[in-house]
Amino acid sequence: MSKLTLGAYPHMLGFEQLERLLERSAKSGADGYPPFNIEQTSDHSYRITLAVAGFAESDLSITVEDRQLVIRGRQNDDADGRVFLHRGIAARQFQRMFVLADGVEVGEAVIENGLLHVDLTRAVPEAVVQKINIRKG
């Protein structure tokens, strides 16, 4: 199976950066942790929900870097002095990235009951028609 690139579509001009963003995004969440949902909450808004049980607000960071929403989690391993007979819940770090289209803005982030909700809105661009004059050469 050959890899399909945006370069295979000559009428798609200036989308090289989008292809790089998609490739980086595909690599970032390869292990599937933490699980997440993406829901459309209205015609122009979305909500990403990540299952972050065990993470405190201070363990999480949310940034926008180069048109990517980056959500990171890092827990401190507080097992010092504790004796575990079984340890199935490990302190684990993660990084999830989501590529944002032009006009998508990150809004509020709320953590409740082990779920991190990040709201996004998409601005509706005005339709612009530009007339290009043709001159004789």
pLDDT in tens, the chain (137 residues): 456 666 677 777 777 777 776 776 666 656 788 999 999 999 999 999 999 998 999 999 999 998 889 999 998 777 678 888 998 877 789 999 998 988 999 999 999 999 999 999 998 888 889 999 999 98
CATH architecture of 6-122: Sandwich (2.60)
In the chain, where the domains are located: 6-122
pTM (two decimals)? 0.74
The strands making up 94-99's β-sheet, listed across from edge to edge, are 60-65, 68-73, 94-99
| Other Cβ atoms within 10 Å of 48 Cβ, number | 20
Question: 95 near 69, Cβ under 8 Å?
Answer: no
